[in-house]
Amino acid sequence: MKLRSWTVGGAALFLAGCAQLSLGARFLGGSIDSLGRSTRPPAQKLEDPVRPEARLAALWVGHATVLVQMDDKFILTDPVFTHTVGNVSARLVEPGLDPQNLPQLDAVLISHLHFDHLSLGSLDMLQDKPKALFVPEGGLVYVPSSNVPPIELSTWEVYEKDGLRITATPVEHVGFRYGGDVSWMTKSFTGYVVEYNGQTLYFGGDTAHSEWMFHATGRRFPRIDLALLPIAPIHPREFMCKTHVDPAEALDLFHDLGARYMMAIHYDTFFNSLDDFGEAPRTLRTLLPARGLTEQDVAILQQGEQRVFVHK
């Protein structure tokens, strides 16, 4: 049987046996169905996302795309503004910010190379706004040269300029882009810690649960102010657990990092799992009281919403 693969939710689903055909057909059918649906508008769409009163603020554009303000610096994570990813899965909700309304970007962080995290079309939309673009180890091969040369960081490698310090941190995921590159793209996924002017940001990209990795990051960075953590896809759990945390595991990672605040990302933007729309944030909310947490500690936003975490 010919081996086929689809990139779904940042992980590749390989269909090589009859036992997996039903699951693969459900993913493929859902992706095709998403292409015919109308896209929902975001909760809001700001024309000027700069917050003069903020030391630390974050705007959820959608999926893993977040605009973070750290005093006078601006960081954009995994920018995806296109209507589809890989021409397979359509956007369920429009981006919460238009690319032309982005400020000048001091850093663009790419966590890994899957189509819903590294979007070359979206990088084109940024035009001349980024000052620096960061990719994980091995990522240069898939990022074309431009007027902003990408900077490749291996685990624990540090880049520092103009007071902005960026460190690549370990996560548990997979790094290949097309499936055929699985044997050699074995390290092309990362998290990031960004430090600036006494503020510390953590961006997890995509990751499965790995207690030692997040404890190690928390020990190395004992004062993380904000952790951007994925909470989906959830289902099918036996498949997704190898590469993605669910809401309960995301709260575990929040605890392991020792961060002050968490912001949930990576849900309700593209068809990328068998989750119901709204299931991941709803599940997360039900878990907070038992952990002694509220939505003041764990931000659960809609696309286009912005939260100031630290005021001047």
- The per-residue pLDDT for 39 is 87
Beta bridge partners of 167: 158, 193
What's the CA angle centered on 6, arms 135 and 124, to 5 degrees? 40
Two tokens, residue 257: 């990092």
- The per-residue pLDDT for 1 is 24
User: 0.95 cut: is pTM over it?
Assistant: no
What is the rounded distance in angstroms from the CA atom of residue 172 to the CA atom of residue 177? Answer: 16
Q: Is 56 helix (H, G, I), strand (E, B) or coil?
A: strand
What is the rounded distance in angstroms from the CA atom of residue 215 to the CA atom of residue 254? Answer: 10
Per-residue pLDDT of the chain (312 residues; tens, 9 = 90+): 222 333 333 333 333 333 343 444 454 545 445 455 678 999 999 999 999 999 999 999 999 999 999 999 999 999 999 998 876 788 999 999 999 999 999 999 999 999 999 999 999 999 999 999 999 999 998 887 777 889 999 999 999 999 999 999 999 998 878 877 777 677 889 999 999 999 999 999 999 999 899 999 999 999 999 999 999 999 888 888 888 999 999 999 999 999 999 999 999 998 877 889 999 999 999 999 999 999 999 999 999 999 999 999
- The per-residue pLDDT for 85 is 86
Q: Is 27 helix (H, G, I), strand (E, B) or coil?
A: helix
What is the rounded distance in angstroms from the CA atom of residue 1 to the CA atom of residue 185? Answer: 24
Contact 236, 219 (CB under 8 A): no
Phi and psi of 27, rounded to 5°? -65, -50
What is the rounded distance in angstroms from the CA atom of residue 148 to the CA atom of residue 284? Answer: 38
Contact 148, 79 (CB under 8 A): no
Domains of the chain: 4-311 (3.60.15.10)
